[in-house]
Amino acid sequence: MRQLLSSNSEEAAELTREGRGPPATSPLSDVAYPPDEGDKEDDEGSVVESSVTNPSESNESETWTKAADVISVGNQAGDVSVWYLGGTWVIPAAQVFLDLNSTGVHRAFSSPLTPSFCRELISSFFDKFHTIFPIVDGRDFEESLRAKTLPRLLLDTVLLAGVTHCNKELFRKNGFATRMEAIQYFHDKVSAGFDSSRKTATLALIQCMFIMQFYWMSPRDWKDMKFWLSTAIRQAQFLGLHKKTEIQKLKPSNRSLCRRIWWCLYIRDRQCASATGMPVMIQDEDCDVEVPCLEDMDENMSLEAKLSFLQLLKLMREVRSLLRAEFGPASTLSNRSHKEQSRQDVISACESWQAEMPTELKNPSKESGTAVFYLHISFQYITQSCYSCSS
């Protein structure tokens, strides 16, 4: 086994010399990941010092050879500290060992990313995803990015969402033949990050899991929408995001963010329940946190996007009775009248919701943003569900 790994390391070095291996310098110098808090010394296998220094200060072939060759020392029970993308990664040695592919290069060590590419993907995230589900604070995100204190996992997850919505020419000119190839690349990075995330704050993990619910790469992947969403909801409840008393303990800026995160989870819980027929995970009786207002919205969002989110939340709060009646355990003949009444109540509530919708959102045009179209699609889905269930 040790001989195999040494051979893999030689192949990795050869790839680098041929220009097909990882770059010699960090391609993300201006959006580099924050370094971990100092590597521990090798104390009975706690953290293995890889001797991988800053690539800019070392011969490129020697640098990347050591990144793989560290595993050949046989200490797979500990951790590996390597320099990658401008920061220090502490990765379980066994994970690196298992992820070595046929060329001997760990997939997390080969990256086509450039600073401009990352900036474009971040903009894509805020333009498309964040306008619908504002789960991060735009100003705090940018400040943390510049200060290099942004959690690595959150950055990779944002890039994953960004590459899903960006212009196809962007990922093509950055080395990806198809969008699916780019998504798979970032999905693998985020998945590996979750496996080795030991210092990421719980709130950041919730934000990452919220984004990851939209991605599962095969029908047999057990980490699907239900896995990520349910885990995020439980972690949010553990932090007390569903309780007014817990939210009040935070400073004002954090209160707004936590309210948005909680109600984003609430919206997705209702949407997923209506799509899959499974019970909702958030019970209204269990939470008393305030519904967000305009002042709670991210300042980087347009007024149109802010109103759309608040209207979407209002709509999702109306479907509770329909979900309970349609997918509840009592599906007997005697319950049909109750189901029909619930449908009619939801239809009536949706009609009132539509009549009271702000004028700016009523008639979307080509100039309307993504959030407005998503709002109307959600409305059509709910009303069609009501009519199809009653037919």
The mean pLDDT value for 197-208 works out to 85
pTM: 0.72
* Per-residue pLDDT tens over the stretch 306-328: 999 999 999 999 887 777 777 76
**273 or 218, higher pLDDT:** 273
pLDDT of residue 165: 93
Task: Please determine, for residue 8, whether its predicted confidence score (pLDDT) is greater than 50.
Answer: no
Complete DSSP assignment for 276-339: H-PPPS--GGG--PPPP-GGGS-TTS-HHHHHHHHHHHHHHTTSHHHHHHHHSS--SGGGHHHH
The mean pLDDT value for 225-241 works out to 94
Assess contact for 130 and 250: CB atoms under 8 A: no
Residue 174 to residue 124: CA distance in whole angstroms: 15
Of 12-16, 175-179, 252-256, minimum mean pLDDT range: 12-16
Residue 152 to residue 154: CA distance in whole angstroms: 6
Residue 50 to residue 322: CA distance in whole angstroms: 57
Interacting residues of 82 by C-beta distance below 8 A, sequence separation 6+ = 50, 52, 67, 70, 88, 89, 91, 109
The token pair at 374 is 């998503």
User: Tokens 């010399």 — which residue?
Assistant: 17
Task: Please determine, for residue 164, whether its predicted confidence score (pLDDT) is greater than 60.
Answer: yes
> Sign of dihedral through CA atoms 292, 216, 110, 13?
positive
* Per-residue pLDDT tens over the stretch 61-112: 444 444 444 444 444 455 555 544 444 555 555 444 444 443 333 444 445 5
Q: What are the structural domain ranges in the chain?
A: 2-108, 112-298, 302-323+339-391
End-to-end, the C-alpha distance of the chain in Å comes to 64
> Sign of dihedral through CA atoms 285, 287, 288, 290?
negative
Phi-psi region of 109 (alpha: psi -120 to 50; beta: other; left: phi over 0): alpha
The mean pLDDT value for 166-194 works out to 90
Assess contact for 91 and 71: CB atoms under 8 A: no
pLDDT of residue 137: 94
Residue 152 to residue 188: CA distance in whole angstroms: 14
In the chain, the percentage of residues whose pLDDT exceeds 90 is 39
Assess contact for 235 and 205: CB atoms under 8 A: yes
Closest by CA position to 356, among listed 304, 314, 320, 303: 314
Complete DSSP assignment for 113-170: --HHHHHHHHHHIIIIITTTS--S-HHHHHHHHHHT-S-HHHHHHHHHHHHHHS-HHH
State the pLDDT confidence band at 115, using cuts at 50, 70 and 90.
confident
Residue 272 to residue 328: CA distance in whole angstroms: 15
Distance of CA 238 to the CA centre of its chain: 19
The three-class DSSP label of residue 38 is: coil
Average pLDDT, rounded, for the chain? 75
* Per-residue pLDDT tens over the stretch 356-370: 999 889 888 878 889
Residue 8 to residue 70: CA distance in whole angstroms: 11
